[in-house]
Chains A and B, each alone.
Chain A
Amino acid sequence: MIRVDGLKVVFARGTPLEKTAIAHVDLALAEGEFVTVIGSNGAGKSTLLAAIAGDVPVAGGRIAIGGRDVTDWAPARRARHVARVFQDPLAGSCAELAIEENLAIAAARGTRRGWTAALATARRQLFRSRVAELGLGLEDRLGDRMGLLSGGQRQALALVMATLAGSEVLLLDEHTAALDPAMAEFVLDLTRRLVAAHRLTTLMVTHSMRQALDLGGRTVMLHEGRVILDVAGEARAGLSVDDLVAMFRRVRGGAPLDDDALMTS
C-alpha cells in the first residue's frame, strides 16, 4: 500500500546548513499493515512521514501509495489517500471553528468541495454517532468551539477526523507525545480500535519503545536517515523494551541514551 524506494531527503541543500535527514530508505507496507517507527531525535522519523504526505520535497527516490506514484503530487492531492494526525493537538483542527465544522472539513477530504451545505442533517447524524463512540460526552457539544477542548479531546477528535472520509493510509506523528499519560493511553487505545475498524495501512512514529512494541505488527528503527532494524512476527514478539534500548545503545556507539526514561515509558 505504501512503497518507499531509495528515498533521500536533504534540507537546506546547497547551503552551509545542508543536512541529510533521510540518507536512504526503502520501506514497503502491505495493505492493512500497522508499522511503528522509532529512532532517536534527528533519525528521520518525522521527515519520513512528511515525505510520504508530501510536506517536504524529496532529493531522490520514489514514493507510491496504493500503486500510484505520488512523488510529484502536491500534499492536497495526496490527502485523498492519506489521513494524518500531528503531534501538536492544536495543529490538526481549527480552534475558532465549531467541532462539527472541523468534522465537516475532514468528512469532505478527498471529495470535490462545492456549494453543498457543509452541515447537512445526514452528516450531523454521522458526526454524532462517531463522536459518541469516543465516550467523552462530546456528542452533545458539537456546536462548541474546538478551542474550548483539552489537548487530549482534540487529539481524540483528530483521530475521528482522520477516519471520517475513506482513506487508505494513516500517518501518525507522535500523536500522543503531548498528552498526559491517562489521555495518551486513551488515544492509543482509540488508535488501535479505529485502525482495526477501518483496516487502515498505518505508519506510526513514536518516541516510546513500549508503544512501538505494543501497537501494530511490525517495528522499524531509523538511525541517521537509514533503517537499522525492521522486525515483525515472532522476532518482534520476542523483543523486550530492554532489547530495543540495548540495540539503540549499540548503534550510537555505546553512548547512554539521554532520554532513556522517556523511551522506555
Chain B
Amino acid sequence: MSAIAFWGAVELGLVYAFVAVGVFIAFRVLSFPDLTVDGSFPLGAAVAAVMITAGLDPWLACLAAALAGAAAGLVTAFLNVRFGILNLLASILTMIALFSINLRVMGRPNVALVNRPTVLTPFYDLGLADHLVRPLLLLVLVIATVALVARFLASDFGLAMRATGQNPRMALANGIDTGRQVYVGMGLSNALVGLGGALFAQVAGFADVTAGVGTIIVGLAAVIVGETLLRARGMLVALAACVAGSVLYRIAVQLALSSDAIGLTASDLNLATAVLVTIALVLPRLRARGLAWRSRPT
C-alpha cells in the first residue's frame, strides 16, 4: 500500500468517524437502532454540494448539512415517540423517504464539486502535501467534535440521555422526559452524520444519492472495532475508540483491496463489511459460551 493510499484511507476513516460517533449516540447511548443514517449521510452531502455549487461559503454549507441531518433524525424520533412506531421501522421509513428528498435537493443523482472552494481550500496553501492536509484538518474537526460530545455526555443532560437508553423506567421515575431525550439524541446523532456527509462530498469531490448505502454498517463496524480494541466505560475513551475504529476499519479495507493475493475488488466491500460486523457481533457470544463450556461442572 502506497503512502497516498494509506493517507487516503485515514482521511476516509476520519470522515466516517463523524458517522461512527453519531451511530454510537443512537445505538449505544440511546439504544435506538437507527437506520436513518443511510439517508442523512447523503442528505448532508447533497445539501453541502448544492450550497457550494451555488457559491455559498463551505463552512455555512457544513452547518446547513448538519441541520438537515438533525431534521431527518427528528422525523425518525417523532415517528417513534409521538406515534409509537417501532424504532427500527421508524428509521427505515425516514431513510426511504430521504432517498427521494436527496434527489430533490440535488435535482439529479449526483453533483460534482471539482474546482469548487471547500473547507479544505485555504489549507492547501500552507505548504503541506495535499494528501496530508485533508486528514490533518479532518483530525482537528474530529477531535473538537469528540471533546464536545464527551463533555455533553458527562453533563446532567447527557447522563439523562444515557439513563433513557439503558433504563427508561428508572429515567422516568427520576423526572427525565425520555421522549425529549430521544428527540435531542436522534437530532444530535444525525446532525453529526449529516456533517460527515458534507465533509465526504468536499473531500471526495462529489455528492451521490447512492453514497449512503451501508452507512449504518460502516458506522457500526467502526463502533464495534473500537469497542473491541478499547474496553472502556469513560465516555471520552469510548468516543475516541469509535474514531480509532473508523480509521482502522478503513486501513484494513485498503489493505485487503490492495492485496492481490486476496483478490478483492471495491465492489466486494459491502460483503466484506457485513461479514466483518457479523463476526464482531458473534465473537463475544461465542467466547461467553466457550467460557461457560469450560467452566461447566464435570
Q: What CA separation (Å) do A117 and B154 show in the bound complex?
A: 6
Q: What CA separation (Å) do A108 and B177 show in the bound complex?
A: 13
Chain A residues closer than 8 Å to B157, beta-carbon distance: 113-115
Chain B residues closer than 8 Å to A86, beta-carbon distance: 169, 173
Chain B residues closer than 8 Å to A76, beta-carbon distance: 172, 175-178
State whether the Cβ of A60 lies closer than 8 Å to any Cβ in chain B: no
CB proximity of A185 to chain B, nearest CB, Å: 25
Task: Determine the residue in chain A with the shortest Cβ distance to B172.
Answer: A75
Chain A residues closer than 8 Å to B259, beta-carbon distance: none
Interface contact B155-A84, CB-CB below 8 Å? no
Chain A residues closer than 8 Å to B268, beta-carbon distance: none
CB proximity of B148 to chain A, nearest CB, Å: 11
State whether the Cβ of A6 lies closer than 8 Å to any Cβ in chain B: no
Q: What CA separation (Å) do A110 and B170 show in the bound complex?
A: 14
Interface size class of B (residues with CB under 8 A): 20 to 34
Using a Cβ–Cβ cut-off of 8 Å, how many residues does chain A contribute to the interface with B? 35
Chain B residues closer than 8 Å to A106, beta-carbon distance: 174
Choose from A91, A105, A111 the contact partner of B159 (Cβ within 8 Å): A105
Q: A113-B176, A115-B155, A119-B154 are in contact. Are A91 and B160 (CB under 8 A)?
A: no
CB proximity of A210 to chain B, nearest CB, Å: 27
CB proximity of B175 to chain A, nearest CB, Å: 3
Interface contact B158-A94, CB-CB below 8 Å? no
Q: What CA separation (Å) do A200 and B80 show in the bound complex?
A: 37
Q: What CA separation (Å) do A163 and B86 show in the bound complex?
A: 35
State whether the Cβ of B231 lies closer than 8 Å to any Cβ in chain A: no
Contact with A along B137-171 (1 / 0, CB 8 A): 00000000000000010111111101100110111
State whether the Cβ of B233 lies closer than 8 Å to any Cβ in chain A: yes
Chain B residues closer than 8 Å to A55, beta-carbon distance: 172
Chain B residues closer than 8 Å to A115, beta-carbon distance: 152, 155-157
Chain B residues closer than 8 Å to A109, beta-carbon distance: 174-175
Contact with B along A91-134 (1 / 0, CB 8 A): 11111111001001110111101111111000000000000000
Chain B residues closer than 8 Å to A118, beta-carbon distance: 154-156, 158-159
Q: What CA separation (Å) do A110 and B178 show in the bound complex?
A: 14
Task: Determine the residue in chain A with the shortest Cβ distance to B152.
Answer: A115
Task: Determine the residue in chain B with the shortest Cβ distance to A53.
Answer: B173
Chain A residues closer than 8 Å to B155, beta-carbon distance: 113-118
Chain A residues closer than 8 Å to B156, beta-carbon distance: 104, 108, 111, 113-118
* Residue of B155, B167, B175, B178 ringed by the most chain A CB atoms within 10 A: B175
CB proximity of A168 to chain B, nearest CB, Å: 13
Interface contact B233-A93, CB-CB below 8 Å? no
Please report B residues at the A interface, Cβ cutoff 8 Å. 152, 154-160, 162-163, 166-167, 169-178, 233
Contacts A79-B174, A109-B175, A118-B154 aside, 19 further interface pairs with beta carbons under 8 A come to A76-B178, A79-B175, A92-B173, A94-B167, A94-B170, A95-B167, A97-B159, A97-B163, A97-B166, A105-B170, A108-B156, A108-B160, A108-B174, A110-B175, A113-B160, A113-B176, A116-B155, A117-B155, A161-B174
A and B contact pairs by CB, cutoff 8 A, 12 listed: A80-B175, A95-B166, A95-B167, A96-B166, A98-B233, A104-B159, A106-B174, A108-B159, A113-B155, A113-B157, A114-B156, A145-B233
| A-B interface, 3 closest residue pairs, ranked by CB to CB distance from nearest | A79-B175, A113-B156, A94-B166
